[in-house]
Amino acid sequence: MSTPLAQQEAGSSPSEAPSRAHVDEPAVPNSRLLIEAADVSVQYAVKRPAFWTLRRDTLHALRSVSVALRRGEVLGIVGESGSGKSTLGRVLAGIERPHGGSVRFAPHCHVQTIYQDASSALNPFMTVRASLLEGLKARRRSALTYRGAVLDNEQALLGCVGLDEELATRKPHALSGGQKQRVAIARALAAAPDALIADEPISALDVSIQAHIINLLGDISEHLGIAVAFIAHDLGVVRHLCERTIVLYLGQIVEEGPTADLFARPAHPYTRALIAAAPSVNQARPVSAPPTPDGTPPASLELPTPVGVPMGCAYRGRCPAADPQRCLRDAPELKAQDRGSPSVNPETVQAYRCHYTPGEQSERAARSSGVAS
Ligand SMILES: Nc1ncnc2c1ncn2[C@@H]1O[C@H](COP(=O)(O)OP(=O)(O)OP(=O)(O)O)[C@@H](O)[C@H]1O
Ligand SMILES: [Mg+2]
């Protein structure tokens, strides 16, 4: 049976600010689809100092990004700082209206968001109990059940995020950063959402509770069919938790696919650089990693700017395999990794944005490092 995606409000509390998503597409015949962003672009007008004046510029936070979030899946969204992860999260939550493209939601799709900064999600004048009750009031279907506990009351909600119920009478100022974050997660779960947009939800937590929250997110997705868009810097967690992953670079998807394939056989030089530079994925390698065996350097500390995005391939300035003419002239399309299969399933395909196959990239990188030495 087909389920049409339609325009929906994302919610009504501060963590799920209402807004109207941009909808202009026909129904999509796929019952697992919850949120579908097609060809989405987001731009901001910014001012930059130029000699004695300020120059107006356009910052391209997202450029033609297409993403589908399906019931019960955990989608990882990775990329370095400023690559557009949070912007994409806001678009998927319906909080930010894109300037181009469309976003569609399944009927009655209820989206909740969790942010790295939990303070912004909690009302400073409300006790934990009042915040959780507010979350419960936003619920539009039966409460979630986690490890035998029905999450329809404050004790069960606090318990599921590993907090003691004596915290219920406190206000946010009397909680630690990690406790606030867990209350914000409990509040989001109280509303029994269909989709959860989690923007770096565990960065403020200690390692032991991080593992607990990761298991919680994995369980609610697997057993309760809640879709989770998990935005993270920690590739080790993404590898563990997410079935599919998309890699953003300067507001564009440069690679996407099943997480296992993407980590086993990254097809874009930027994905390889991110993996090589991630200590939790590659424990043996220090953070300032030396070039990988195929000559790809780790992501440098110098971040590119999404203002005045360059012509051609946006990654060419950092890419060891770049061709000075072709990569300057032609912007590469996102193309499927060839597995020799004639039909390509969008849920399982690995796609990357490069003119060259991974084999050609390695040859080119080896040749250019040979020329350089
Ligand atoms: N309201 C805004 N006005 C102007 N620029 C913005 C605005 N919001 C985001 N940006 C810019 O858009 C780009 C993408 O921002 P975004 O917050 O999505 O990045 P991010 O990948 O989440 O980064 P981080 O990992 O640091 O959280 C950045 O260059 C950011 O400065
Ligand atoms: Mg962010």
Residues bordering ligand 2, an ion, CB closer than 5 Å: 86
In terms of C-beta density within 10 A (0-12 exposed, 13-18 middle, 19 or more buried), how is residue 210 classed?
middle
User: For the CA atoms of 268, 305, 80, 311, what is the dihedral angle to 10 degrees?
Assistant: -10
Q: How many CB atoms lie within 10 A of CB 164?
A: 10
Q: What is the pTM of this model?
A: 0.86
Give me the numbers of helices (H) and strands (E) for the chain, helices first please.
10, 13
Longest dimension (CA), the chain: 67
Pairing of strands 149-150, 351-353: unpaired
Q: DSSP letters along 145-198, please?
A: EETTEE-SSHHHHHHHTT--GGGGG--GGGS-HHHHHHHHHHHHHHT--SEEEE
- The answer to whether 35 touches 112, Cβ cutoff 8 Å, is no
60 lines ligand 1 (CB under 6 A): no
The verdict on the CB of residue 304 being under 6 Å from ligand 1 is no
**pLDDT per residue of the chain (373 residues) written in tens, 0 to 9:** 334 455 433 333 333 333 333 443 434 446 789 999 999 999 999 887 777 788 888 899 999 999 999 999 999 999 999 999 999 999 999 999 999 999 999 999 999 999 888 888 899 999 999 999 999 999 988 999 888 899 999 999 999 998 999 999 999 999 988 899 899 999 999 999 999 999 999 887 888 888 888 988 998 898 888 999 999 988 999 999 999 999 999 999 999 999 999 999 999 999 999 999 887 666 544 333 334 444 444 344 445 566 766 689 999 989 999 999 999 999 999 999 876 565 667 778 999 999 999 999 999 999 887 765 5
Kindly list the structural domains of the chain, giving each domain's residue range(s) and its CATH number in brackets, ordered by start.
14-241 (3.40.50.300), 244-372 (no CATH)
Beta strands 33-50 and 100-105 are antiparallel
Q: Which atom of ligand 1 is nearest to the CA of 84?
A: 18
